[in-house]
Amino acid sequence: MLTGRAYVGVMSVFDRMVPDDFEQVVFCHDANTGLRSIIAVHDTSLGPALGGVRMRAYPREEDALTDCLRLARGMTFKAAIAGVNLGGGKSVIIGDPKHDKTEALLKAHGRFIQTLHGRYIPGMDSGTEMRDLEVIATEADRVSCVRNDPSPMTALGVLEGIKACVHARFGTGSLDGVKVCVQGVGHVGSSLAGKLVAEGAEVTVADADGPRAKEVAGEIGATKVDADALLATPCDVLAPCAYGGVIDDSTVDTLRCAIVAGGANNVLAEPRHGEELQARGILYAPDYCINAGGLISLEEEILGHDEQRTERRVRSVGKLVADVLRRAEQDGVSPAHAATAMATERLTALSAVGPKYVSR
């Protein structure tokens, strides 16, 4: 059943929805499985909202809501700037994926998703895998990531975006000898690290799961450092590929990089940290721009296009990042500000054409 269980006060939920024009937030609870989850639909001007199912042991329920809202809004802007005809949404399941995830719990979440009748299309995210989406698909009609893992395509887009940043900063498109620190070696981070090594980059990896980082480093020929040491490690490119909020007041002063460009969502704890990076002379590739490859590949899957077309379109993320950097320079603003302006322009133009997506 749906419930109004007080994750935060009812008025505070609406207070947080209104400024960013959220369409819908659903709080879900199933007593039999212990499910506590949230589904956020931010904007469906461009189409049904697509976004991953994240499962995480959040310290507080309010943290889960904050993460869900930020991620859903980011998906809207990711689709808009990448030319994808999908809206922005996200869902989070509160719990430790290693200990609390069960088939029954995933099916319960799928039943809640089905109540939205296609307005929200779930996919993979931190804490979920393809087999989890297959379970959700037994209860919900519209589910992505059941045939293909989009992570390698996300990593490919990030790789091309890093090349664009290296060219903008150092005047070369080659990654040979470029020092890259990859934070987080999950689905996207491990794939990106391998692609970087193949391009000749000198890669250092770190992860909260130390043994996992050591394993990946050994497999691809990278260097491994402790997770708490990575941000201060001197490098040309810092590639955050773990959870968001990595650039905040306490970390921005520790950075020893020329470029921040990675696959994580919501890299900046607050928008103002994009301006902080700009002031420090650090080039920042806006996360929802450089990590759009996975979303692009999912749209291509929905459209039924072949792998060659999908790869060509994903590789165009490099051109998109270059366009954002040029726009920022022309307008005299930070790349984060330029990307927001470019995404907003498309959203504004298309939202005026007709009604927002209505479930079928």
The CATH number that applies at residue 167 is: 3.40.50.720
Residues 160 and 126 in one domain: no
pLDDT band at 16 (very low <50, low <70, confident <90, very high): confident
Reduced to 3 states (helix: H, G, I; strand: E, B; else coil), residue 87 is strand
Q: What is the CATH number of the domain that holds 18?
A: 3.40.50.10860
Question: With 80 as the cut, is the pLDDT of residue 353 above it?
Answer: no
Q: What is the pLDDT of residue 74?
A: 94
Burial (CB < 10 A; 0-12, 13-18, 19+), residue 109, is: buried
Structure confidence at residue 358 as a pLDDT band (50, 70, 90): confident
**Angle 166-192-236 from CA coordinates, rounded to 5°:** 30
Report yes or no on 359 lying in a domain: no
pLDDT of 40 > 70? The answer is yes
pLDDT of 34 higher than 70:
yes
Assess contact for 7 and 64: CB atoms under 8 A.
Answer: yes
Show the tokens assigned to 35: 């499910």
Same domain, 132 and 155: no
Are 80 and 54 in contact, with CB atoms under 8 Å apart?
A: no
One domain, residues 186 and 232? yes
Mean pLDDT of the chain: 93
Tell me which residue range forms the domain holding 114: 10-78+86-136
| In the predicted structure, residue 181 carries a pLDDT above the cut 60 | yes
Residue 313 lies in a domain: yes
Does the residue 265 lie in any domain?
yes
Q: What pLDDT band is residue 269 in, cutting at 50, 70 and 90? A: very high
Contact between residue 214 and residue 223 where contact means Cβ atoms under 8 Å apart: no
In a domain, 191, yes or no: yes
Q: How far apart are CA 219 and CA 238, in angstroms?
A: 21
Do 110 and 187 fall within a single domain? no
pLDDT of residue 8: 44
Q: Which residues are catalytic?
A: 90
Q: CA 262 to CA 286: how far, in whole Å?
A: 9
For 216-245, what is the mean pLDDT?
96
Query: Does some domain include residue 276?
Result: yes
In a domain, 248, yes or no: yes
Question: Within this chain, do residues 64 and 107 fall inside the same structural domain, yes or no?
Answer: yes
Which whole number is the average pLDDT over 85-93?
97
Strand partners of residue 123: 52
pLDDT computed for residue 354 by the predictor: 66
Same domain, 252 and 287: yes
Please count the other Cβ atoms lying within 10 Å of the Cβ belonging to residue 49: 30
Q: Is the pLDDT of residue 203 over 60?
A: yes
Q: In terms of domains, do 179 and 303 share one?
A: yes
Which pLDDT tens digit goes with each residue over 57-74? 999 999 999 999 999 999
pLDDT, position 2: 38
- Residue 350, pLDDT score: 82
What are the two backbone dihedrals, phi and then psi, of residue 102, each rounded to the nearest 5 degrees?
-135, 160
pLDDT confidence band for 173 (50 / 70 / 90): confident
Domain assignment of residue 199, yes or no: yes
User: 249: burial class by Cβ within 10 Å (0-12, 13-18, 19+)?
Assistant: exposed
Strand, helix or coil at 197?
helix
Please say if the pLDDT value at position 9 is more than 60: no
Residue 18 and residue 330: Cα distance in Å, rounded?
32
Q: Is the pLDDT of residue 7 over 50?
A: no
Domain-ending residue, one of 67, 101, 136: 136
Give pTM, 2 decimals: 0.89
Residues in the chain: 360
pLDDT per residue as tens digits for the range 112-151: 999 999 999 999 999 999 999 999 999 999 999 998 899 9
Q: Is 131 found in the same domain as 169?
A: no
Residue 5 pLDDT: 42
**Pair 126, 161 in one domain:** no
Count the domains in the chain: 2
pLDDT band at residue 356 under the 50/70/90 scheme: confident
In the predicted model, is pLDDT for residue 3 greater than 90? no
Here the tokens at position 73 are 């809004």
200 & 333 share domain: yes
179, 32: one domain: no
319 falls within a domain: yes
Does 130 share its domain with 167? no
Pairing between β-strand 120-123 and β-strand 87-94 as defined by DSSP bridges: unpaired
Answer yes or no: are the C-beta atoms of 290 and 158 closer than 8 Å: yes
